[in-house]
Amino acid sequence: MNSSSHTETPPAPAAGIAPLLGVVARVAARLAATAHPEDVLLEVLELVRAGLAAEECGVWLLSPAGLIRNWGVGDFEVPVEEVEVALDSAATAEGRAAVIERLVAADQRLGAFVVRLARRWTDDERAGARAIANVLAPVLVHAQHSHELEEEVALRTTQVSDERRFTEKIIDSLPVGLYVIDREFRIQAWNRKRETGMQGVSREEAIGRTIFEILHRQPAELLRREFEEVFRTGRIQQFQMESLATGDLRVYRITKIPMRLADGPVTHVITIGEDVTDWKEAEGRFSQAEKLAALGQLAAGVMHEINNPLATIAACAESLQLKLEDLAAQGIELKGDYHELLTIVDNEVHRCKRIVDGLLDFSRPKTVTKSLVHINQVVEKTLFLLKHHVRFKKVHVHQHLDPELATLVYASEEQLVQVLMALLLNALDALGDTGTIIIRTRPGRTATEAVICEVIDDGQGIPRGEQSKIFEPFYTTKPPGRGTGLGLSICYGIISDHGGRIEVDSIPGKGSTFRVILPGSEGV
Ligand SMILES: Nc1ncnc2c1ncn2[C@@H]1O[C@H](COP(=O)(O)OP(=O)(O)OP(=O)(O)O)[C@@H](O)[C@H]1O
Ligand SMILES: [Mg+2]
């Protein structure tokens, strides 16, 4: 049995049990070293079966359920008691056709080795069967252990990958961009949100590379400093940044969170990027609305105080004017420019009244009558009113009213006319002497933004830094006497009251677009 070629060839039955033992021993050695002992074990059984021309040759194993599994002839279960009986009788029955040897290793009962012949056993064969059982027992223990170990490893592996998938699912479901870097600035986690969008980078590409390679558009030094700050202080850092990466300007809130794998220094930094553009806008609108409400209360409080003296001044000016006319009728001409002075007083009083009236627009509660109106009709009505305005004669006003626009708005027509008028007058002021104004209507995309009306001019435009201020009450760039700075804030208040919003896009030197967005009557 020295040559390996013999090991693979089952000996002829005539050779008996002796040569078989050597083969079995060698196969058993292989068995101990393999990760799949069951296959080799089956080989051993096959060798014995062929060597002895046995009718049955198998291993019955004790299973945790207390039953026996037959290994070698296919699976079936035998109650333990039956096996115990079989073992006891086999031990005493000399020369029987079936030999059942206990498989015991280090006091551990494993089961039995069972060989059934069609003839009587020789003594040698019986001794051989016992010897095989002795070889098999420790191997089986080993096989069982490695089997259990394998199952344990497989179980743990699935558990770990399940847990991993679960955590990945969590971070992928977050509506924020998230990534994690280690001390070497290498990316260790990169979520789904960071993979999508125009600047998206796939996870495969990002993991393992340094953050500077991936976010190469951002200044590396600045990034490094931000991360080092978190590594050093162990404190959460939060800031906002603007980005044009998606095409239009978006505002992101960036949060850098320290992470420690064990007690001790920070090992990783988690970075979360959240698009807060809409939130910022909403916040801006909210504070604007608050300001307007406060102004409304103030206006309501002072209106009588100012209106009454104004009325007195106006009345006095008027009676002085009449007196002057009386004197003139009597042929008495006073020296001095009294007429002119009285006209100034009158004009200024009216200007004050306009300001007070403007302020009153903010005061609550207001009685406005709302009805179902069509924005195209509002535009036409406004243009009809402005048609005769001398300044409008010099500019081109184009109407692009969508005839298909069917959605009605539930609104105060009077107030909408007031809004469009204020926007058109501003456009006119922006144009100077000549230019073009387009007034356009079109449907929006959702029920809450169903109707859009734009006033577009090619005038001077609004500097970027000023765009956030124009809706503030009293903000004006017009010379004293020309503008009160209330027009847009009144528009803002009216449109908010209607559940809509007003936006501006402007390029200095090129022109501005004011966009009124209103909900459809069903969306209110
Ligand atoms: N179409 C526009 N083009 C350029 N700048 C504009 C435009 N519309 C408004 N603005 C700017 O916004 C400011 C505020 O406008 P708003 O209508 O509130 O007040 P105003 O026009 O100055 O005064 P008024 O109270 O008489 O309307 C203006 O002074 C102007 O600087
Ligand atoms: Mg104005």
Instruction: Give the ligand with the smallest distance to the CA of 425.
Output: 2
Is 174-275 in CATH node 3.40.50.720? no
- Span from the CA of 486 to the centroid of ligand 1 (angstroms): 8
CA of 427, closest atom in ligand 1: 1
Q: Residues near 514 by Cβ (< 8 Å), separated by ≥ 6?
A: 423, 426, 427, 454, 455, 456, 502, 503, 504
- Span from the CA of 507 to the centroid of ligand 1 (angstroms): 15
CA of 486, closest atom in ligand 1: 25
The CATH class of 371-523 is alpha beta
Q: DSSP for 65-130?
A: TSEEEEESS---EEEHHHHHHHHHHHHH-TT-SEEEEEEEETTEEEEEEEEE-SSPPPHHHHHHHH
C-alpha–C-alpha distance, residues 8 and 27, integer Å: 9
Closest Cα partner for 493 from 297, 353, 347?
Answer: 297
CB burial of residue 222 (10 Å; 0-12, 13-18, 19+): exposed
The full 3-state SS of 41-70, as one line of letters, equals HHHHHHHHHHHHCCCEEEEEEECCCCEEEE
- Span from the CA of 425 to the centroid of ligand 1 (angstroms): 9
Q: How confident is the model at residue 3, as a pLDDT?
A: 40
Q: DSSP for 233-251?
A: H---EEEEEEE-TTSS-EE
Determine if ligand 1 sits within 6 Å of the CB of residue 484. Answer: yes
Residue nearest to atom 19 of ligand 1 (CA): 485
Is 4-151 in CATH node 3.30.450.40? yes
- Span from the CA of 402 to the centroid of ligand 2 (angstroms): 26
User: For a pocket test of ligand 1, which of 429, 454, 507 has the largest count of ligand atoms closer than 8 A to its C-beta?
Assistant: 429
Determine if ligand 1 sits within 6 Å of the CB of residue 476. Answer: yes
Q: How confident is the model at residue 4, as a pLDDT?
A: 40
Determine if ligand 1 sits within 6 Å of the CB of residue 486. Answer: yes
Residue nearest to atom 10 of ligand 1 (CA): 426
- Span from the CA of 382 to the centroid of ligand 2 (angstroms): 15
Determine if ligand 1 sits within 6 Å of the CB of residue 478. Answer: yes
CA of 426, closest atom in ligand 1: 8
- Span from the CA of 334 to the centroid of ligand 2 (angstroms): 40
Closest Cα partner for 140 from 245, 60, 51?
Answer: 60
Q: Considering only CA atoms, give the Rg of the chain.
A: 47
The helix (H) or strand (E) run that includes residue 371 is strand 371-373
Q: How confident is the model at residue 454, as a pLDDT?
A: 98
Phi, psi of 348 (to 5 degrees): -65, -40
C-alpha–C-alpha distance, residues 121 and 368, integer Å: 113
Print pLDDT tens along the chain (524 aa).
Answer: 344 444 444 444 445 667 777 777 777 777 667 666 667 777 888 888 888 888 888 888 777 666 666 666 666 666 767 766 766 665 555 556 777 888 888 777 788 888 888 888 888 888 888 888 888 887 777 777 777 777 888 899 899 999 989 988 998 999 899 999 999 999 999 999 999 877 789 999 999 999 999 998 889 999 999 999 999 999 999 999 888 777 778 899 999 999 999 889 999 999 999 999 888 888 877 777 777 677 777 777 777 678 888 888 989 999 998 998 899 899 888 888 888 888 888 888 887 887 777 777 665 555 678 999 999 999 998 998 787 677 787 889 999 999 999 999 999 998 898 899 899 999 999 998 789 999 999 999 999 999 999 999 999 999 988 988 899 888 999 987 677 788 898 899 889 989 999 999 999 999 999 999 999 987 55
Instruction: Give the ligand with the smallest distance to the CA of 428.
Output: 1
- Span from the CA of 498 to the centroid of ligand 2 (angstroms): 20
Determine if ligand 1 sits within 6 Å of the CB of residue 460. Answer: yes
C-alpha–C-alpha distance, residues 413 and 372, integer Å: 9
pTM over 0.75: no
- The set of long-range contacts for 321-326, using a CB threshold of 8 Å and a minimum separation of 24, is 321/346
Determine if ligand 1 sits within 6 Å of the CB of residue 243. Answer: no
- Span from the CA of 47 to the centroid of ligand 2 (angstroms): 103
- Span from the CA of 305 to the centroid of ligand 2 (angstroms): 26
Residue nearest to atom 29 of ligand 1 (CA): 476
